[in-house]
Structure 1
Amino acid sequence: MPSISQISYYLPQNILTNEELEKEYESWSANKIYRKTGIENRHIANEEATSEMAVKAAEALFNSSQDIIKDNIDFLLLCTQSPDYFLPTTACLVQQRLGLPQTIGALDFNLGCSGYIYGLLLASSLIQSNQACNVLLLTSEKYCRYIHPQDKSTRTIFGDGATATLISVNKGFATLDAFDWGTDGSGAKNLIVPAGGDALPCSVETAKEQIDESGNIRSLDNIYMNGPEIFTFTLNTVPLTIERVLAKASLAMEDIDFFVFHQANKFMLETLRIKLNIPEEKFIIDMKDYGNTVSSTIPIALGNARRKKLFHNGAKILLAGFGVGYSWGSAILTWKE
């Protein structure tokens, strides 16, 4: 049975506080930012590349236990939407810098807020098909490189960070029991960096700044998020993926002991919790000091919950990721410690 053996994470040292943002946005106070987002601090990777953060998260994992040996890694999966280069693959750079065996497979996959669920699914599939015994799943995201400093709709929410998760066969603190996933590309333009790829290369024209109706400034080179549309998509989609993954595991909502969703923002999470009738004591919210770190939010929350010993042996944990793409996924774990 594929199981999570260890989780570690890395956060850049530079911290952007609500008090600092308050000085830049005259109409916003630190308290207002917190009330709207549930976030007080976010870590920002200035000069650190995505690969550097991934390496530091992985090194923290290897240093956490003498039983975790680099030579035993069979496959490296790196989830990122901010790769070091268009090519080569960032996972290849990470393999070399970590000193992992040249016999491993290594690849990037481009997913955002659902990425951790997809990574667990890919790792589980590699193990169940006998292609690997130990898979190193990394998430490393530097969304802040895409954010215009005067776009408070995104700058107040996102933070940078990286995580490392080891998935192994028959060894770990949480078994991977069931998955559900889905895609709807019709929502692609609601969370997007329009320029920079082959469809629209960066140019003088794409760099021109524009002001939206809320006073946010950005260009086509920057990230754009249609908050209301993302909110509607989330409220419509998350209950359905939860229903499906519960059916696959032959469980009911009442059988789930804890829920760990993608930490998008506190308002969205609380709205989901109420809609799904989830008791507060079962619902993990852990973003105050990190912000929305995209694919890293769920493993950060899981790692912190484990350190705090919030979960009991035998607990059923439901994970759900959702966002850019549109893409979503859910998983059910059984806690084993």
Structure 2
Amino acid sequence: MHAVIEDIEYLLPERTETSEELARQFPGWSLDKIAERTGVLMRRIAGDDECASDLAVACCERLLARRRECAADFDFLLFCTQTPDYFLPTTACLVQERLGLPTSAGALDINLGCSGYVYALGLAKGLIETGQARRLLLVTADTYSKFVHPGDKSVRALFGDAAAATVISADAGANTIGPFVYGTDGRGAGDLIVPMGGMREPFGDAPPEEYADRFGNRRSARHVRMNGKAIVDFSLREVPQCVATLCERAGITLDDVDAVVPHQASAKVLNGLRNKLGLDESRFWVYMNDIGNTVSCSIPIALARAGEQGRLRDGMRLMLVGFGVGLSWGATLVTWRPSESGD
């Protein structure tokens, strides 16, 4: 038996924030500059009381309703997020209960960001193909906006909130997922980090001191901090090599791939990668201008939106490439053969 992707659904919060609004708040941070650097015109922002689990549950409920399926049909839940509801218990357990998955189902969290969907696909494939699961829900949800200081225009203009749910099941047909390539470089952990809030630097009684960087972006140790140049340099260095390694492992060339679906990082990163890989826009799919960088959700949302536009065809060979916070990266190949009840 092989693991196959049957279907993908996604959900965006109702609240929006446009780049025009940001340009008005930050003199000198023009709409053209925001578009050039981020490629984002609008983002979706979770409500004040809306957590990753809320987005995840609503997304899964939409998926199950559309497919006319029951949560009891699933025997495993993988939940990828870096914005869990609590330190403990595992947010996947909360989602299991709210969705009504059986108590015989496995459920676990994966704390991984921009490469998380690729890593989770690898775990899902292993669970299915070793017989540990028969039908699996792979759910991603992140609310990075809750880490963003309102005075930090650099990340506020980039990150959006979202959830996505993927149905993965066992099938006797051909292998459609893999091989995989993974990479990790913890030396760059500080290049994209929320320094305070864990056990290394827990919250104190008083709020941490706020400061402004040399670009005027305000934040404190409880907010996300990104070294934009380091992230760009890392992406342009490691991702092309990751793509080449995956092609070598699969015994193909990039010409044999119908489309590359990258993590939707930023316009600057994506344009640089597309040029380095020598791909035109028709084979390098970007879907972020109206939702921003949605972290672990960006690849499944891109796949779902491509399906909505009729770009996905049965038998297409797709390369999924995730990269970012960690520093972490991963890539895999997917032959697109959704079930009849899918897209």
Task: Calculate the TM-score normalised by the size of structure 2.
Answer: 0.95
Q: Equivalents in 2 of 1:274, 1:78: separation in Å?
A: 33
Q: How many residues in Structure 1 have an aligned counterpart in Structure 2? A: 336
Q: Equivalents in 1 of 2:305, 2:96: separation in Å?
A: 26
Confirm whether residue 216 of structure 1 aligns to residue 217 of structure 2: yes
Q: Equivalents in 1 of 2:313, 2:213: separation in Å?
A: 48
Structure 1 partner of 2:333: 332
- Specify the code of the residue in structure 2 equivalent to 1:236: R
Alpha carbons of 1:172 and 1:224: their partners in 2 closer, same or farther (altered >3 Å)? farther
Which SS does the other structure have where 1:288 is aligned?
coil
Q: Equivalents in 1 of 2:207, 2:247: separation in Å?
A: 45
- Specify the code of the residue in structure 2 equivalent to 1:335: W
- Specify the code of the residue in structure 2 equivalent to 1:312: R
Confirm whether residue 322 of structure 1 aligns to residue 320 of structure 2: no
- Specify the code of the residue in structure 1 equivalent to 2:122: L
How far off its partner does 1:231 sit? 0.7
- Whether the aligned pair in 1 keeps the contact of 2:5 and 2:337 (CA below 8 Å) is no
Which SS does the other structure have where 1:198 is aligned?
coil
| Aligned equivalent of 1:63, options 41, 44, 65 | 65
Structure 1 partner of 2:84: 83
How far off its partner does 1:313 sit? 2.4
Query: Can you list the C-alpha shifts for 1:252-282, whole angstroms capped at 9, x where unaligned?
Result: 1110010100000112101001011112211
- Whether the aligned pair in 1 keeps the contact of 2:80 and 2:140 (CA below 8 Å) is yes
Structure 1 partner of 2:50: 48
Q: Equivalents in 1 of 2:242, 2:20: separation in Å?
A: 38
CA RMSD of aligned residues (A): 1.6
Query: Can you list the C-alpha shifts for 1:212-251, whole angstroms capped at 9, x where unaligned?
Result: 0001000001000000111111111111211122122211
How far off its partner does 1:205 sit? 6.5
Q: Equivalents in 1 of 2:154, 2:220: separation in Å?
A: 14
Confirm whether residue 34 of structure 1 aligns to residue 35 of structure 2: yes
Query: Can you list the C-alpha shifts for 1:37-81, whole angstroms capped at 9, x where unaligned?
Result: 111110000221111001011111101212x33112111000011
- Whether the aligned pair in 2 keeps the contact of 1:207 and 1:221 (CA below 8 Å) is yes
How far off its partner does 1:24 sit? 1.1
Confirm whether residue 263 of structure 1 aligns to residue 237 of structure 2: no
How far off its partner does 1:23 sit? 1.9
* Runs of at least 5 residues in structure 1 that lack an aligned partner in the other structure: none
Structure 1 partner of 2:111: 110
Alpha carbons of 1:174 and 1:292: their partners in 2 closer, same or farther (altered >3 Å)? farther
How far off its partner does 1:172 sit? 9.9
- Specify the code of the residue in structure 2 equivalent to 1:250: G
How far off its partner does 1:101 sit? 0.5
Instruction: Indicate the larger mover: 86-95 or 175-184.
Output: 175-184
Confirm whether residue 251 of structure 1 aligns to residue 252 of structure 2: yes
Greater than 3 Å deviation, 4+ residue runs:
171-174
Q: Equivalents in 1 of 2:252, 2:205: separation in Å?
A: 54
Query: Can you list the C-alpha shifts for 1:165-212, whole angstroms capped at 9, x where unaligned?
Result: 011112899921321111111100000000000000122666210110
- Whether the aligned pair in 2 keeps the contact of 1:5 and 1:171 (CA below 8 Å) is no
Structure 2 partner of 1:309: 310
1:124-203 → structure 2 map (5 Å cutoff)? 124-170=125-171, 175-203=176-204
- Whether the aligned pair in 1 keeps the contact of 2:75 and 2:101 (CA below 8 Å) is no
- Specify the code of the residue in structure 2 equivalent to 1:167: I
Structure 2 partner of 1:123: 124
Alpha carbons of 1:260 and 1:2: their partners in 2 closer, same or farther (altered >3 Å)? same
Task: Calculate the TM-score normalised by the size of structure 1.
Answer: 0.96
- Whether the aligned pair in 2 keeps the contact of 1:3 and 1:173 (CA below 8 Å) is no
- Specify the code of the residue in structure 2 equivalent to 1:254: D
